[in-house]
Structure 1
Amino acid sequence: MVHVSAIPAAPDVLAPEVELIPIPEVAKRFNRPVTRVHQLIREGQLLAMRRDGELSVPAAFLTEDGIVKGLPGTITLLSDAGYHPHEILRWLFTEDDTLPGSPIQALCENRGREVKRRAQAMGF
Structure 2
Amino acid sequence: MRDERTGTGLAGLVRQLEAGSVSLQHYPQLPALQPMRDAWQQLHAESRLRIALEQTPAEGGPLNSTVLVHRMLDAMQALSPEYLRHFIAYADTLAWLEQRPQPTPAATAATRKRKPKPR
Using structure 1 for the length normalisation, give the TM-score.
0.23
Structure (1 or 2) with the greater helix fraction: 2
Higher relative contact order (CA 8 A, sep 6+): 1
Larger radius of gyration, structure 1 or 2? 2
